[in-house]
Structure 1
Amino acid sequence: MSRHMRTGDVEARQPLLLTGGHLEPNELESDEGEIIFDRSTSNIEHEARGSAQRRLTYEEAVEEAGFGLFHWLLLVVCGWANASDAVEILCVSFLLPTARCDLLLSSSDKGLLTASIFLGMMVGGYMWGYLADQRGRRRVLVLSLTVNGLFGGLASVAPWFWLFLLLRFVSGIGVGGSIPVIFSYFSEFMPRLRRGAMISALATFWMAGNILAAGLAWLVIPRTWAHFSLGTLDFQSWRLFVVLCSVPSLTSALVFRLLMPESPKFLMEAGRETEAIRVFRLMFELNMRGKRKAFPEFGLCTSSKHRGEPEETRARGSCRERLASILKKGLVPIKQMFKGPLKSRSIALLIIFYCISFSYYGLWMWLPELFSRVEAGGSPCANVSLPSPLHNQSCYPVKTAVYMEGFITAASNLPGNIFTILMMDSTGGKALLSCSLVVSSLSVFLIYVVQTKAQSVVLSCVFSGVSVIAWNALDVVGTELYPTQLRSSALGFFTGVGRVAAIMGNVVFGKLVDSNCAVPILMVSALLLTGGLVGLLLPQTRQTELT
């Protein structure tokens, strides 16, 4: 989820919402299709007009564009993309009770399956984030969402476990790009005083995706009518579920390709003033629809970021030298994150992302499996003598109670999301992050000590409702702690770290859930407590301006 093109193609390839714009007469183009202003002609013109025209910073221009219909439409579009990522990640957890029979999975295999998408996200996270900082947010979103949906859907017809695993990995590469870039893209349209609440609202769509995945699993997987033969492939209902889970990502990619503009903050940082003003005009016209207000004329304080140098570098040296140059340049954002004033916050975020990702995904991806283990009563760790996965009678007919409990647990995110939206701008992300991680730690510890199925479900709901506050706060804090040229790279890097942690969490659960499931559950509790305490070291970012 290519964006750069030659100026002769600009008008033909602009998104639909941006049609009708025009370019300044004295603009030049780079080899990558970006507008580079001729300092001897174009800038003189702008300076001449500057005496009769205000020149605004990014924050001032966002305020001039107002707040209204455009932002609510943006919330829906970006929210659906966020929900599609949740569906693609979490759908695997609902496959485990049935797919283990058809793919002949052991508990270790199931750990690898749940870890595969996170391995892809680890690979894709920083790569897509870096490209988004260099080439633009919108283009990366289109490509990564397409990769996510396409390969996620293809996994449904994989007859062998290794192929299913590979396709889930490639799908994860797409997910790894869209998650951090969505939040960077969305935040760069938001006025400062509303940014915290709106990013929190965007984060609630993860809950919507969670509920959608659980609801689809509940409706589709237990149904016998979805079972048919496809050549030599026995197409069970869970495979249809996988196909349906790929639809949100593909529709999101289409909407971004056809309708959405590029981030105005990115355009300003790239020195593309005309395009940035066009986006602000679009925002103003939609926000002031029916109010009969004229768009105020203004110029922008843009950066003059020239990008012709990479083309020169590409043309010189051997293949090994060019590869080394690309890798060296790609690591520059990481070096900038871990030096100077950004160093302490980067180390703190590194620890927090590891702790919360290991804990949340390690536990959450195994909740349906744990629920199936307490179906006959007792605690999640008491009933470990499951029938062999080689015997289909342990999977069919499907027990719908497992999916009903998963749906209830997913829906329990709602109170936490509402609380975050109401409190984010007044309390700040730092306080919400630390408090929610500590309470989540306590709820997980109690899951270990309870003895009944009802108690396990209730505490899982508490964990779901409280931990989502931490994720929402982390989304807000992460976008506000770094400047524009590092924002997507930073979020991509930290989500990559989180994916490493998620892989480790799922592998640990897969290895120990049969022999000693108390160890991973107590480990989750301890890591959540650690993340909550480290969160106190982060700077306060409430209603801060984006740099």
Structure 2
Amino acid sequence: MTANGKIEKEGDKEKTRIATLDEAMMEAGFGVYNILHMLMSGVILMGMIMQSLALGYILPVAQCDLKLTLQQRGWLSAIPFLAIILTSYFWGWLADTQGRRPVMLFSMIISAVFSVFASFSPEIISFAILQFLSAVFMSGSSAVVYTYLGEFNNLRHRDKMVAFGSSFVGIGTVILPCISWLILPLDFAFPIVYLDILYRPWRLLVVACAVPFVIASVLLLFAPESPKFLNANDRYSEALDVVKTIYSGNRKMSKDDFPIKSLVMDSQLSKACNSKGAAAVWSSMKDQTVPLFKRPLLPWTLLTCFVQFGIFATTNGFYVWFPTILNSLANHEGGETGICDVLDASRETAANGTDIACDDTMNTTTFELSIYIGLVFCSMYIVVGFLVDFIGKKPILIALLSATGLCGIGAHLASSQHLAVVLFAIFQMCGACIGLMNAVAVELFPTKFRAMAICLSMMMGRVGSMIGSNLIGVFLETNCGAGFYLFGGILIVNAIFCFTLPGKKTLKRKQTVEPTHNETHEPV
């Protein structure tokens, strides 16, 4: 075998190449297949973010039917994040042992079914239980889709394609208010006597937010398993066949023309899927987790977990209250004043009332502002996708976290409502750093521990979402300004911590020391 992985037969004009999976992926190139696969993964991400954040639009208009208090709306909004916290670790392990595609396919279908059931809930308890079960299975796709997307792209284009795929999170924040605007103003109430409910528009919105999962499930039926997973489990011929499919789609050539005929077998690859029984499962999880809390990986584990906690707590924590805040601003009558002044005034008005009728209407201006802010949010993902290859992940993280943190503080201090909304929109763009932070984590951790490292950091992010949404609900009732100062400050502290990350050149040197052909996970 020559240094470049070629075996030449004397007297034979043809050259049979044996290569690593990463070399084969480079040979498959980049093109239409990768773009279509990214779009499919993007639909999954869009469904995930719509399912997670839909309650921000549903609960304000369901509060009369379900008899919700502000505190109940807070913990109901946290249910999707709680489900992900409790189950993403398990889904990550299951995807590493049983495959990415079957886990996503099964989880999305079941999640959509439970969403349909939740739309018929007669009261708060049944609604909370069914939403929790739907979110448990939604967690399956959210824990795996980044891995699945990354593993279909070669090293040269991986960061860029993951960033573009992540932009569908931003697209989801545009589609969600569009669908809400289309459905919630409808005036219908179909009685269902058996359940003693009126089927009103908000119930239809619960079902509509599950549609992306249905579409993605159909598309996934025609998609193959990840070549990295197949290669990691000694299914080399199947892995090579997937790479040939990528090659054929990109180059518009026959699979038989693919120059690489076999993949290098690696005895070091994990055989986690051969483990059976509860003891084996626990042992497998422990072996992949304990080293993350020992040196030299401990500092990186703490850093990635803390940064993701801060980003998720801010972007998701505020977003679930976003429609409520915008609705208060849209309904405000009077001169220019700050966000918190408007919220405090509406709270004082409600507190002084003796018997106020339940109001579950939503101003159409709320949907318009949500769409505009979602477009800004989406554009930031796309801009980051174009810049990441040229500037690097570390400078973008530092600049974006610092700027969004300052804008969060400025949104409270601004006396003009229009300026406050603009600053608030920029404040929400810190969410564009989630995918970047995952991409950095992929390079920080050795191959064997990457999947669990990403699962842990994302799990801490979901903890942040849950804590953030509840804390912000408390701050909106007690001290509105403190919420903006606290979460804006957290983003600035995150930016400071990101200065400790290795630079682009250091990460490249690290990659040359650690061969990439052993990678079994790429959850960027």
- TM-score, scaled to structure 1: 0.83
1:343 and 2:298 correspond: yes
Whether 1:394 aligns to 2:359 is yes
Does the alignment pair 1:310 with 2:275?
yes
The structure 2 residue matched to 1:234, chosen from 180, 198, 204, is 198
Structure 2 counterpart of 1:502: 465
1:38 equivalent in structure 2? none
Structure 1 residue 144 displacement after superposition: 2.4
Partner of 2:332: 376
Q: Which AA in structure 2 matches 1:147?
A: I
- Select which of 179, 200, 204 maps to 2:163: 200
Instruction: State the alpha-carbon separation in 2 of the partners of residues 137 and 386 from structure 1.
Output: 52
User: SS of the counterpart of 2:348?
Assistant: coil
Report how far residue 290 of structure 1 moved.
Answer: 5.4
Q: 2:318 aligned to 351, 363, 366, which one?
A: 363
Distance across 1 between alignment mates of 2:497 and 2:112: 36
Please give the residue correspondences for 1:531-542 in structure 2 after superposition, counting only pairs within 5 Å. Answer: 531-540=494-503
**Aligned equivalents of 2:126, 2:303: Cα separation in 1:** 38
Specify whether residues 403 and 175 from structure 1 end up closer, same or farther in structure 2 by C-alpha distance, changes over 3 A only.
same
For 2:273 and 2:454, locate their aligned partners in 1 and report how far apart those are by CA, in whole Å. Answer: 26
Q: Confirm or deny that 1:457 pairs with 2:421.
A: yes
The answer (yes or no) to whether the contact 2:398–2:496 under 8 Å persists in 1 is yes
| Distance across 1 between alignment mates of 2:118 and 2:108 | 16
Letter in 2 for 1:235: Y
Q: Distance in 2 between matches of 1:391 and 1:484?
A: 59
Of 98-107 and 273-282, the range deviating more from structure 2:
98-107
Counterpart of 2:111 (choices 148, 157, 167) is 148
Identity of aligned residues (%): 25
Q: How many residues are paired up? A: 486
- TM-superposition CA deviations, 1:368-401 (whole Å, max 9, x none): 11122223153332232364899555224x3212
Are residues 1:267 and 2:267 paired? Answer: no
Out of 283, 299, 302, the position equivalent to 2:246 is 283
Matches within 5 A, 1:363-512: 363-374=318-329, 375-377=331-333, 378-382=337-341, 383=345, 384-385=347-348, 387=350, 393-396=358-361, 398-464=362-428, 466-512=429-475
Q: Write the letter of the residue equivalent to 1:326.
A: V
Q: How big is the shift at 1:306? A: 4.2
CA distance in 2, matches of 1:228, 1:211: 29
Q: What SS does the aligned partner of 2:157 have?
A: helix
Shift of 1:330: 2.1
The answer to whether the 8 A contact 1:148-1:171 is kept is yes
For the Cα contact (< 8 Å) 1:66–1:287, is it kept in 2? Answer: yes
**Mean alpha-carbon deviation: is it higher for 483-492 or for 401-410?**
483-492
Residues 194 and 335 of structure 1, relative CA distance in 2, 3 Å threshold: same
Q: Secondary structure at the match of 2:470?
A: helix
Correspondence for 1:296:
259
| Partners of 1:133 and 1:485 within 8 A in 2 | no
How far apart, in 1, do the equivalents of 2:350 and 2:133 lie?
32
Q: Distance in 2 between matches of 1:386 and 1:100?
A: 19
Deviation at 1:89, TM superposition (A): 0.9
2:79–2:132 CA contact under 8 A, matched in 1: yes
Question: Which of residues 233, 249, 252 is equivalent to 2:216?
Answer: 252
* TM-fit CA distance, 1:344: 2.3
Q: Say whether 1:89 aligns with 2:48.
A: no
**What is the 5 A alignment of 1:76-225?**
76-225=39-188
State the 1:535 CA deviation.
Answer: 1.6
String of CA shifts for 1:190-216, please: whole Å, max 9, x gaps.
121211211110010111111111111
8 Å CA contact 1:420, 1:472 repeated in 2: no
> What do the CA deviations read for 1:150-194 (whole angstroms, capped 9, x no partner)?
222321111111111122222222232222311111111112121
* 2-structure distance, mates of 1:307, 1:265: 14
Say whether the 8 Å CA contact 1:184–1:487 is kept in structure 2: no
The amino acid across from 1:182 in the alignment is V
> For the structure 1 residues 117 and 536, does the alpha-carbon distance in structure 2 shift closer, same or farther, using more than 3 Å as the test?
same
1:518 is aligned to 481
**C-alpha separation between the residues in 1 aligned to 2:357 and 2:160?**
48
Distance in 2 (alpha carbons) for counterparts of 1:537 and 1:98: 45
CA distance in 2, matches of 1:278, 1:290: 14
Match of 1:333 in 2: 288
Structural RMSD (CA): 2.5
Would the aligned equivalents of 2:24 and 2:260 in 1 still touch at CA under 8 Å? Answer: no
Deviation at 1:484, TM superposition (A): 4.6
Encode CA deviations 1:273-292: one digit per residue, 9 max, x unaligned: 11111111111111111589
- Aligned-partner SS, 1:298: strand
Aligned letter for 1:435?
Answer: A
- Give 3-state SS (helix, strand or coil) of 1:412's partner: helix
Task: Give the whole-Å Cα distance in 2 for the aligned partners of 1:203 and 1:61.
Answer: 25
What is the CA distance between 1:122 and its match in structure 2? 0.5
5+ residue gaps, structure 2: 1-6, 10-14, 520-524
Equivalent residue letter for 2:101:
R
How many Å separate the matches in 2 of 1:479 and 1:173? Answer: 25
Displacement after TM superposition at 1:538 (Å): 2.2
8 A contact 1:338–1:346 mirrored in 2: yes
SS at match of 1:190: coil
- In 1: Cα distance, 2:405 partner to 2:260 partner: 53
With the length of structure 2 as denominator, give the TM-score of the two structures: 0.87
AA aligned opposite 2:316: Y
Partner of residue 33, structure 2: 70
Alpha carbons of structure 1 residues 302 and 541: separation in structure 2 relative to 1, 3 Å:
farther
Give 3-state SS (helix, strand or coil) of 1:54's partner: strand
Say whether the 8 Å CA contact 1:345–1:539 is kept in structure 2.
no
Displacement of 1:486: 3.3
Q: Hey, what's the Cα distance between the residues in 2 that align with 1:259 and 1:487?
A: 28
3-state SS in 2 of match to 1:513: helix
